[in-house]
């Protein structure tokens, strides 16, 4: 993920400090996501988004009154569709955990390939001492019990002999993310690397699926 670009002088014409319709709104969302990835959600204020956009804070407020309102828009337009794309995998493969987790891995790679900010935001917020972003996610997702149900499902699969009993149910989802989204994020910096420069998303998917298929099966 590249660092935000320094602010440049304005070009002739309409000043960018003025509202400019839906394209400007999407531009601000894109800038916010890039800043979330680069410096974290807690450090990204509307004022910093305005600076990066070359706009006045008042012009940004035309679109988003608060950072929380901006987050809600990002959740509805970006995060929720991603959740929907991975939703239902465990129901579809209720009796085949190996297939469920390998399909989940492939879906994670697709999302990371389409949205460069996903990896830095996920891992940055997982490691951050700040709980602001996580609290917003919990508020929007609600307490639907999905994490607890997944852990119970994993334990049931293990008890039924369908999943490796050596695996820790609480760590498995994070392991899949580490095998997929993490290398997808790192691969954007591997251009020209003599060892890893050849790696493509297809290579990452094949590697992750091979490890999962071997590691998930009961011994």
- Let me know whether 33 and 97 are in one domain: no
Distance CA 104, CA 160 (A): 21
pTM for the model: 0.83
- Let me know whether 135 and 105 are in one domain: yes
- The CATH number linked to 154 is 1.10.357.10
Largest CA distance in the chain: 69
Q: Which of these, 86, 129, 105, lies nearest to 182 by C-alpha position?
A: 105
- The CATH number linked to 40 is 1.10.10.60
Q: Is the dihedral of CA 159, 165, 169, 172 positive or negative?
A: negative
- Please give the average pLDDT of every successive group of 10 residues along the chain, which has 219 residues: 46 44 88 94 95 95 95 95 92 95 97 94 89 90 82 96 97 96 94 93 97 93
CA distances from 91 to 81, 100, 170, 191 (A): 18, 9, 19, 38
Q: Is 126 helix (H, G, I), strand (E, B) or coil?
A: helix
15 is a domain residue: no
- Domain total of the chain: 2
Model pLDDT, residue 87: 87
Distance CA 27, CA 160 (A): 50
- Let me know whether 96 and 201 are in one domain: yes
71 is a domain residue: no
Model pLDDT, residue 11: 39
Model pLDDT, residue 185: 94
Q: Is 93 helix (H, G, I), strand (E, B) or coil?
A: coil
Question: What is the domain extent for residue 41?
Answer: 21-66
Distance CA 163, CA 150 (A): 13
Model pLDDT, residue 130: 87
- Let me know whether 55 and 92 are in one domain: no
């Amino acid at each position: 993920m590249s660092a935000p670009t320094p602010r440049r002088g304005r070009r002739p014409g309409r000043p960018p400090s003025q509202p400019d319709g839906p394209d400007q709104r999407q531009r601000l969302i894109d800038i916010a996501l890039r800043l979330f990835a680069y410096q974290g959600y807690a450090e990204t204020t509307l004022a910093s988004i305005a600076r990066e956009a070359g706009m006045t804070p008042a012009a940004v407020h035309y679109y988003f009154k608060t950072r929380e309102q901006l987050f809600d828009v990002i959740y509805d337009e970006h995060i929720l569709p991603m959740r929907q794309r991975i939703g239902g995998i465990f129901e579809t493969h209720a009796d085949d955990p190996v297939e469920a987790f390998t399909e989940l891995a492939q879906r994670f790679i697709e999302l990371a390939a389409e949205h460069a900010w996903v990896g830095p935001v996920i891992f940055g917020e997982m490691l951050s001492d700040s709980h602001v972003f996580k609290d917003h996610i919990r508020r929007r997702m609600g307490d639907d019990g999905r994490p607890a149900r997944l852990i119970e499902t994993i334990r049931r699969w293990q008890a039924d002999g369908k999943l490796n009993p050596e695996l820790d149910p609480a760590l498995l989802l994070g392991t899949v993310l580490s095998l997929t989204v993490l290398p997808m994020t790192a691969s954007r910096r591997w251009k020209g690397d003599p060892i890893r420069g050849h790696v493509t998303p297809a290579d990452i998917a094949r590697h992750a699926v091979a490890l999962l298929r071997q590691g998930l099966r009961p011994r």
